[in-house]
Amino acid sequence: MKSILSSLLINLILLSFSVCFAQENRAIISPETEDCLGCHDELHPGLVQSWNDGRHAHVSPQQAIEKNELSRRISTEVIDEKLLNTVVGCYECHSLNTDKHADSFEHNGYTINIVVSPNDCAVCHKTEVDEYAENIMSQAYSILMDNDLYMDLKKTITGHYGMGEEGFTIIDNNLKTDNEACLHCHGTIITVDGTITKETDFGELTFPKLKGWPNQGVGRINPDGSKGSCTSCHTRHDFSIETARKPYTCAECHKGPDVPAYKVYTASKHGNIYSSMGDNFDFDAVPWKIGEDFTAPTCATCHASLIVDQNYTVIAERTHKFNDRLAWRIFGAPYAHPHPISADLSIIKNAAGLPLATELNSDPVKKFLIDENEQRIRNEKMQKICISCHSTIWVENHFARLDNTISETNTMTVVGTNMLTQAWDKGYAHGLPQKANIFDEGIERDWTALWLFYANSTRFASAMGGGGDYGVFANGRYQMSEMLIKMHDWMKLQDQMNKKKK
C-alpha cells in the first residue's frame, strides 16, 4: 500500500517543503557554493541531495540567530558578516580555517580543506563545541591510546599473532586495522601524507593524501589539531537533529557487549514506547516539549537535549557535555566509580601506579573523581526529566536500585580479581607480578569478560530499566557469575595438576 501512496506523499512533501521554507524565506546560496555544486551535484548526487534535505541548505546564520532563545539552534553571538546571509553550503564549511588545516589545498581557484572539524563548526555552534571539549568522548583517542593497560588489551585484540618456539607471540598491528577496529568509534588521527594527482572528468586535479580517513569517531584528532567529529552524531550532509535524537545514532558505538546501551534501551519500556509509537513523535522540534513532542525518552532526551514542558519551562538545559547529568561512570574498567572530574583521563593513576580510577579492590581514587555533592547535583538534573513522567517514589527507588547494582557488580568483579591475583601468585598465569600482559591467557580473558561485558551490561540494564534479559541471561548476571565459576573450576584443575607434580 505504501508504494501506492508515494505519488500522493511526494506531492504533500513538495507542498509542505515549499510552505515551510517559504515561511523562513530560503536564504541565498553563496556564489562559491554555487561553484562547488556546479560539479559536485553531478559527481556526488547523493551527498548533495542529502545536504539539500537539511536545514543548512535553506537557512542563513542570520535567520538562525533571529529565533527566540529557546528555539535557537546556533549559539555563537557574533558571526562574520560574510557568512551571515547565505545558506551554510559546501564552501562555507570547507573553507573556514584553511590556514589551520594540514589538509588544505587549492581546488579550482579556492583554498579549501577536506575534513570539517569541531573548530570549524564552532563558528556558529560555539557553546556546543566548548561543552563537547569537556565531554570525555572528545578525549576518546587519548583515553584509549595513552593508557598503557588498555594498550596491552588492544595488543591482544588487534595484534598479529604468531607461533614461535615458546608458544604465542603477539606484536602490534598495523594502523589500518586499528583505524577500523577500536578507532572506528574512538577516532583516528587524520594526517596528510603528501598529495596525489588524479585524472578526473574535470581535468587533472591534485588532492592531499589523507591517512586515518575516513573516520567519524567521537575523539578524532583532526588535521587542524582539534578533537572530535560532530558528524559522529550529526550525520552528514543533512546534519538532521532528528537523526541525532534517534537511538540508532548512539547505537553505532553503544550496542555492546561492552556498552550495550542501545540493546538495553530496546528491551526497556522506554524503548518499547519509542519503537511502537515513535512515528508520532516530533524529532525536529526545538525546544523539545515533553508529552507533546514525545512520550518516551530516547538517548538524547536524558543525556543531551533541551527539554521543556507545555509552558516552555525548562526541564533540562541542552548540553554537549553529557556527563553533566551523570553521577557515575558505570562503564567499569574494571570497576564502576564516581564520574571523573576532568575529561582528560590520562592524568589518572591509582596507588599501585596503574592508569585506573580505582584500586584493584574497587576503591575509587577520589582525587580524580567528583564528590558526593556533585553526584547529587548531577542526579538531580537527570531526575528532573524522570519526574516529568514518574512519581518521586518511583524515581528514588529506581536510583537506589542502580546504586545497589553498582555496588554488587563491583563486588562480583573483586571476587574475580582476587582469583586472578591468586593465579598470578601461584604462577598458574602471568600477569602484574610478572610484568606480563594481563589479557593474553584464558583466565585473564574470563576476568576481562566478567567486567568488560557482564558487569557493564548488568549496570546498563539497571540504569536504563532495561529489564530482565540484559540484567540476567543476555550478558548479565548469569554470565557474570559463570565467569567466576569458570575461573574457580580452572583454579581447582591447576591446583590438582600442581599437587600431582610434587
CB of 305 to a copy of itself, least distance (A): 14
The SS3 assignment for 284 reads coil
Cell of 409: 557488580
Longest CA span, the chain: 88
- Is residue 277 near a copy of itself by the rule CB under 8 A? yes
Q: Are strands 314-316 and 328-329 parallel, antiparallel or unpaired?
A: unpaired
Q: Which residues between 390 and 429 bind a copy of itself (CB under 8 A)?
A: 390-394, 397-398, 400-401, 404-405, 408, 411-412, 415, 418-419
Cβ closest to a copy of itself, residue 198 vs residue 367: 198
Assess 181 for contact with a copy of itself (CB under 8 A): yes
As measured in angstroms, the least distance from the Cβ of 242 to a copy of itself is: 5
Which stretch, 59-67, 127-135, 276-284, 376-384, contacts a copy of itself (CB under 8 A)? 276-284
CA 427 to centroid of chain Cα atoms = 39
- Using CB under 8 A, which residues numbered 315 to 354 contact a copy of itself? none
Residue whose C-alpha is closest to residue 259's, from 359, 329, 349: 329
Which residues, including other chains, have CB under 8 Å from residue 281's CB and lie 6 or more apart? 274, 293, 294, 295
Measured distance CA(135)–CA(143) in Å, rounded: 12
Strands (E), 68-211: 104-107, 110-113, 160-164, 167-171, 191-200, 203-211
Nearer to a copy of itself, 368 or 439 (CB): 439
The stretch among 30-38, 69-77, 261-269, 369-377 that binds a copy of itself (CB under 8 A) is 261-269
User: Which contacts qualify for 195-201: CB closer than 8 Å, 24 or more apart?
Assistant: 195/105, 201/43
Among positions 257, 350, 383, 384, the unique one binding a copy of itself when judged by CB under 8 A: 257
Residue 225 touches a copy of itself, criterion: CB under 8 A: no
Q: What gap in Å lies between CA 369 and CA 367, rounded to an integer?
A: 6
Q: In the window 426-485, what residues touch a copy of itself (CB under 8 A)?
A: 440-442, 445, 452-453, 461-462, 467-469, 471-474, 476-478, 481-482, 484-485
Closer residue to a copy of itself, CB minimum distance, 15 or 347: 15
Nearer to a copy of itself, 140 or 348 (CB): 140
DSSP-assigned beta bridge partners for residue 161: 170
The minimum distance between CB 447 and a copy of itself, in angstroms, equals 12
Whether residue 217 contacts residue 187, with contact meaning beta carbons closer than 8 Å, is answered with yes
Question: Of these, 65, 389, 432, 436, which contacts a copy of itself (CB under 8 A)?
Answer: 389
The nearer residue to a copy of itself, 368 or 447, going by C-beta atoms, is 447
Q: Is there binding between residue 22 and a copy of itself (CB under 8 A)?
A: no
- Smallest separation (angstroms) from a copy of itself to the CB of 36: 13
| Residue of the chain from 37, 65, 189, 387 that contacts a copy of itself (CB under 8 A) | 387
- From the list 69, 279, 353, 435, which residue makes contact with a copy of itself (rule: CB under 8 A)? 279
Cis preceding linkage at 390, omega within 30: no
Compute the distance between CA of residue 31 and CA of residue 169 in angstroms, rounded to an integer: 59
Binding letters toward a copy of itself, positions 43-62, x by CB under 8 A: xxxxxxxx--x---------
**Smallest distance from a copy of itself to CB 209, Å:** 7
CA distance 206 to 196: 6
- What span, in angstroms and rounded, lies between the C-alpha atoms of 476 and 336? 15
Per CB under 8 A, 73 contacts a copy of itself: no
Nearest approach, Cβ of 97 to a copy of itself (angstroms)? 20
| Site for a copy of itself, residues 145 to 174, rule: CB under 8 A | 156-163, 167-168, 173-174
For a copy of itself, the binding residue among 101, 220, 246, 378 (CB under 8 A) is 246
Contacts of 10 (CB under 8 A, 6+ apart): none
126/155 with CB nearer a copy of itself: 155
Q: Of the two residues 291 and 433, which places its CB atom closer to a copy of itself in the complex?
A: 291
Q: 3-class SS at 230?
A: helix
Span of 82-90, 123-131, 306-314, 366-374 interacting with a copy of itself by CB under 8 A = 306-314
- How many whole angstroms separate alpha carbon 502 and alpha carbon 128? 66
Closer by beta carbon to a copy of itself, 29 or else 370: 29
β-partners of residue 369 are 340
Query: Using the rule CB under 8 A, which residue among 62, 350, 383, 388 binds a copy of itself?
Result: 388
Pick the piece of the chain touching a copy of itself (CB under 8 A) from 61-69, 77-85, 269-277, 368-376: 269-277
Our CB check for a copy of itself shows the closer of 79 and 431 to be 431
Of residues 225 and 291, the one with the C-beta less far from a copy of itself: 291
CA dist 186 and 176 (Å) reads 14
Q: In angstroms, what is the minimal distance from the CB of 132 to a copy of itself?
A: 19
- Buried residues in 408-440 as b, exposed as e (16+ CB within 10 A): bbbebbbebbebbeebbeeebbbbeeeeebbbb
Tell me if 345 sits within 8 A of 140, measured CB to CB.
no
Binding of a copy of itself by 34 (CB under 8 A): no
Among 27, 121, 133, 253, binds a copy of itself (CB under 8 A): 253
- Show Cβ contacts of residue 75 under 8 Å, excluding neighbours closer than 6 positions: 124, 125, 126, 127, 128
